[in-house]
Amino acid sequence: MITRINHIGIAVNSISDVLKLYTEALGLKLKDIEIVEEQKVRTAIIPVGESKIELLESTDPEGVIAKFIEKKGEGLHHLALEVDNIEAAMANIEKQGVQLVDKKPRKGVENTSIAFLHPKGTRALIELVETGK
């Protein structure tokens, strides 16, 4: 079911303000910047080995990332776990009594399908990611 850590999401006020830290100070390379309109977010994808860091900047003051930063400040937002079959993973996880935020997968960055598990049950926001959809 879970194959690897796909990425770690970090909420930031401004990608351009923090990107220098990751690219210059840490020596990592920016792969891409992408906007996901339905989630009201702009993302910067920074590969690290087989995983990635995903910087998340809100494109709307009412967006989830803007509200997260308003409440908790910039920082770690979620852990994304890659799965082979997102629908099967969601059904299995829900069958185990874990509450899902999403009832069906939605579009994520880099042509992925994603769904979130509710942090009340997992103690952290966990995203399931299926690549190539």
pLDDT tens-digit readout, 3-50:
999 999 999 999 999 999 999 999 999 999 999 999 999 999 999 999
Residues 6+ apart with CB under 8 A from 2: 81, 82, 83, 89
Domain ranges of the chain: 2-130
Q: What is the C-alpha separation between 131 and 73, in angstroms, rounded?
A: 29
Alpha-carbon dihedral 79, 4, 112, 47, rounded to 10 degrees? 80
Residues 6+ apart with CB under 8 A from 26: none
Identify the band that residue 1 occupies on the pLDDT scale cut at 50, 70 and 90: confident
Q: What is the pTM of this model?
A: 0.94
Topology (CATH level 3) of domain 2-130: 2,3-Dihydroxybiphenyl 1,2-Dioxygenase; domain 1 (3.10.180)
Is residue 61 pLDDT above 60, yes or no?
A: yes
